[in-house]
Amino acid sequence: QAPLRVPITLPNGLTYEQPTGLFINGEFVASKQNKTFDVINPSTEEKITTVYRAMDDDVDTAVAAAKKAFETKWSIVEPEVRARALFNLADLVEKNQETLAAIESMDNGKSLFCSRGDVALVSKYLRSCGGWADKLNGNVIDTGKDYFTYSIKEPLGVCGQIIPWNFPLLMWSWKIGPALATGNTVVLKPAETTPLSALFASQLCQEAGIPAGVVNILPGSGRVVGERLSAHPDVKKIAFTGSTATGRHIMKVAADTVKKVTLELGGKSPNIVFADADLDKAVKNIAFGIFFNSGEVCCAGSRIYIQDTVYEEVLTKLKEYTETLKVGDPFNEDVFQGAQTSDKQLHKILDYVNVAKSEGARLVTGGERQGDKGYFVKPTIFADVKEDMKIVKDEVFGPIVTVSKFSTVDEVIAMANDSQYGLAAGIHTNDINKAVNVSNRVKAGTVWVNTYNDFHQNVPFGGFGQSGIGREMGDAALSNYTQVKSVRIAI
Ligand code: NAD
């Protein structure tokens, strides 16, 4: 039998105890069938530890615990209790920020620079959710003097939450924060490649005063745990972040029990540079737009459009700037871009490099693996692409960007909107009228002007088109976790 906790020395020398069991009803436990899987460090390709693998029967136990906790504890307490617990949790994340950031860099491969940013947003977001918890008021509705009519917002019940590997802890917070604030309980499945930070954070939930059964964490595969959660009759909502293909499938499975479904899916977001922009600033923003978090970002600005009069100038600057970005050991403080998260991702990305070359795209820089140990890819730029190429259409989810030329606003809007996705868009210009006009016309859930990948805990985030359903963060996230009840009393 594998241990339920293991001592780990992080690559930067910090030591901590990593829980390795399933977190069910306030305890770390072995899976009933005693199944396990290994967790790999993508920078070294070495095993970090072994974690228990949840199966169908563990899902059923966790859902039952979450249902009981919903009915007997979390949905019936005064909202102020939930607020206080979320504030405590935010404080504990802050207190453990260096450990959490290092766990994330070890498990996911992202640079410390990225994981520290993630952890900072996690605590801000949990605090923001705590602030909402006791302000979810309903309405009194005037329906005439013969009635007293009001509506209130009620929680949904047990929420199944399935998250990806690119922002493991951040997605944990985006999922549990609004669910807990509104009185729901959760069974959350981290991605198989990155379960460590969510398990570590489960202990913080307990320490914060969140009762047993309110948060349950089940590492395991999508095909087993994800499917069971999506089909389970006692799970009232599925919140999913990941690929569009898996999101589509989950929606179909969830249809049988008419679950509420929110999806945060893929993207192929356009990042537009107009000739009147501050070009040096724009170059930094478009590079950050794609190479941040090793390009493993659903809203990555993976299609760059540069106005023809400055095309060569911006492309040259972008190449020069990109080549200064340091790639390598995520624990090296100078490193901007760490490892890709898995062997599978590394090969997917390298395959797309070959696709782009065979389609006739011009390789400007990168286009290869860095070193032969660890899943490192050099930041890659393909220029002079055609809009119907696969490299322009498909989400690569890595540090690869395409660059095309445009001349007019109408032309670039047509190019930007020619995608099944609609998660984000970037506009770089010093003309406020153009910024607003293009923002209005571009089909995207988030538009960044003279910035990119710039998240804020109170700003809703989510997709148009096949990029998803529902919004995360801000007040929009809370309505994903409540249902309205209207009460009409005849007097
Ligand atoms: P995925 O969508 O298959 O995995 C995301 C999560 O869904 C994981 O927790 C996984 O275990 C779970 N899952 C998988 N199959 C499931 C099923 N049948 N039922 C329920 N849950 C299931 O993504 P992936 O295979 O890890 O990556 C493939 C591609 O997806 C990436 O290359 C990238 O393009 C995209 N992706 C997008 C995001 C995003 O944030 N939008 C995140 C990760 C991956």
pLDDT tens profile 76-88: 999 999 999 999 9
Q: In what order do the strands lie in the sheet with 424-428?
A: 362-365, 380-383, 400-406, 303-307, 270-273, 424-428, 446-449
**Ligand 1 neighbourhood includes 89 CB (under 6 angstroms):** no
**For the segment 120-138, what is each residue's pLDDT rounded down to a tens digit?**
999 999 999 999 999 999 9
| Residue identifier of the C-alpha nearest atom 28 of ligand 1 | 243
Nearest ligand 1 atom, CA 264: 41
Distance CA 40, CA 448 (A): 35
**For the segment 362-404, what is each residue's pLDDT rounded down to a tens digit?**
999 999 999 999 999 999 999 999 999 999 999 999 999 999 9
Average pLDDT score over the chain:
97
Confidence of residue 305 (pLDDT cuts 50, 70, 90): very high
Under 8 Å CB-to-CB from 4, ≥6 apart: which residues? 19, 20, 21, 28, 29, 30, 52
**For the segment 176-204, what is each residue's pLDDT rounded down to a tens digit?**
999 999 999 999 999 999 999 999 999 99
Burial profile 407-426: b = 16 or more Cβ within 10 angstroms, e = fewer: eebeebbebbbebebbbbbb
**Ligand 1 neighbourhood includes 474 CB (under 6 angstroms):** no
**Ligand 1 neighbourhood includes 242 CB (under 6 angstroms):** yes
CA of 204 to the centre of ligand 1 (A): 26
Distance CA 31, CA 2 (A): 10
Token pair 């737009």: residue:
289
CA of 299 to the centre of ligand 1 (A): 15
Mutate to test the pocket of ligand 1, among 37, 110, 162 (most ligand atoms within 8 A of CB): 162
Residue 277 contacts residue 423 (beta carbons within 8 Å): no
Residues recognised as catalytic: 264, 298
What is the reported pLDDT for 303? Answer: 98
What is the reported pLDDT for 210? Answer: 98
Share of residues in the chain with pLDDT > 70 (%) = 100
What is the reported pLDDT for 36? Answer: 98
Residue 196 contacts residue 107 (beta carbons within 8 Å): yes
Under 8 Å CB-to-CB from 400, ≥6 apart: which residues? 290, 295, 302, 349, 352, 353, 356, 366, 380, 381, 382, 391
Gap between the terminal Cα atoms of the chain: 65
**For the segment 138-152, what is each residue's pLDDT rounded down to a tens digit?**
999 999 999 999 999
CA of 480 to the centre of ligand 1 (A): 21
Distance CA 300, CA 287 (A): 10
Mutate to test the pocket of ligand 1, among 39, 161, 246 (most ligand atoms within 8 A of CB): 246
| Residue identifier of the C-alpha nearest atom 18 of ligand 1 | 223
Nearest ligand 1 atom, CA 226: 20
Distance CA 125, CA 179 (A): 13
Q: What is the mean pLDDT of residues 2-21?
A: 96
**Ligand 1 neighbourhood includes 250 CB (under 6 angstroms):** yes
Distance CA 199, CA 17 (A): 11
**Ligand 1 neighbourhood includes 472 CB (under 6 angstroms):** no
Whether complex ipTM tops 0.90: yes
What is the reported pLDDT for 436? Answer: 98
Backbone angles phi, psi at 177, to 5 degrees: -55, -60
Confidence of residue 432 (pLDDT cuts 50, 70, 90): very high
Q: What is the mean pLDDT of residues 245-251?
A: 96
| Residue identifier of the C-alpha nearest atom 20 of ligand 1 | 226
What is the reported pLDDT for 412? Answer: 98
| Residue identifier of the C-alpha nearest atom 6 of ligand 1 | 164
CA of 75 to the centre of ligand 1 (A): 30
**Ligand 1 neighbourhood includes 243 CB (under 6 angstroms):** yes
Residue 302 has pLDDT above 90, yes or no: yes
Distance CA 161, CA 177 (A): 12
Distance CA 374, CA 294 (A): 13
Distance CA 201, CA 357 (A): 43
**Ligand 1 neighbourhood includes 154 CB (under 6 angstroms):** no
CA of 170 to the centre of ligand 1 (A): 16
Please report which helix (H) or strand (E) contains residue 57, including its range. Answer: helix 56-69
HSE-up (13 A, CA, CB side) for residue 376? 19
CA of 470 to the centre of ligand 1 (A): 18
> Using the 8-state DSSP alphabet, how is residue 472 labeled?
B
Nearest ligand 1 atom, CA 221: 11
CA of 403 to the centre of ligand 1 (A): 27
Nearest ligand 1 atom, CA 227: 19
**Ligand 1 neighbourhood includes 226 CB (under 6 angstroms):** yes
**Ligand 1 neighbourhood includes 162 CB (under 6 angstroms):** yes
**Ligand 1 neighbourhood includes 246 CB (under 6 angstroms):** yes
HSE-up (13 A, CA, CB side) for residue 445? 29
| Residue identifier of the C-alpha nearest atom 9 of ligand 1 | 191
What is the reported pLDDT for 1? Answer: 82
CA of 188 to the centre of ligand 1 (A): 14
Under 8 Å CB-to-CB from 456, ≥6 apart: which residues? 473
**For the segment 309-361, what is each residue's pLDDT rounded down to a tens digit?**
999 999 999 999 999 999 999 999 999 999 999 999 999 999 999 999 999 99
- For strand 468-469 and strand 260-264, is the pairing parallel, antiparallel, or unpaired? antiparallel
CA of 246 to the centre of ligand 1 (A): 6
